Amino acid sequence: MSGIKERIYEIVASIPEGSVMNYGRVAQLAGNSRASRVVGFVLHSNKDPVKYPCHRVVFKDGSLSTGFGMGGIEVQRERLLKEGISFLPDGRVDMKKHAI
């Protein structure tokens, strides 16, 4: 695994159940705050969603990605709901409660 890719996976693996992180924050922690699209690209090719729970990565405003690679936006939403993530009336994750 290349450096930033490996770091992205390490960060995503560290997101605890019941919490989320946005793409930009993952990029920042990986060493490049401008690489949020790289984070999305890396996670889209995630081969081990149990070890690397990419469903816990959302947009800054709490929106879910329509490009979620593990079954689509509804699968991502279901996984988050099962972990106790709450959503706002407009369908976004309540980032005030769940973002780390």
User: Domain coordinates of the chain in residue numbers?
Assistant: 3-98
3-98 fold:
Arc Repressor Mutant, subunit A (1.10.10)
Catalytic residue among 39, 54, 80, 93: 54
75 is catalytic: no
Task: Return phi, psi of residue 53, to 5°.
Answer: -75, 75
Half-sphere exposure of 38 (CA within 13 A, CB side): 19
pLDDT tens-place values along the chain, 100 residues long: 578 999 999 999 999 999 999 999 999 999 999 999 999 999 998 989 999 999 999 999 999 988 766 778 899 999 999 999 999 999 999 999 999 9
What whole-number distance in Å separates Cα of residue 2 and Cα of residue 24?
Answer: 19
pTM above 0.85, yes or no: yes
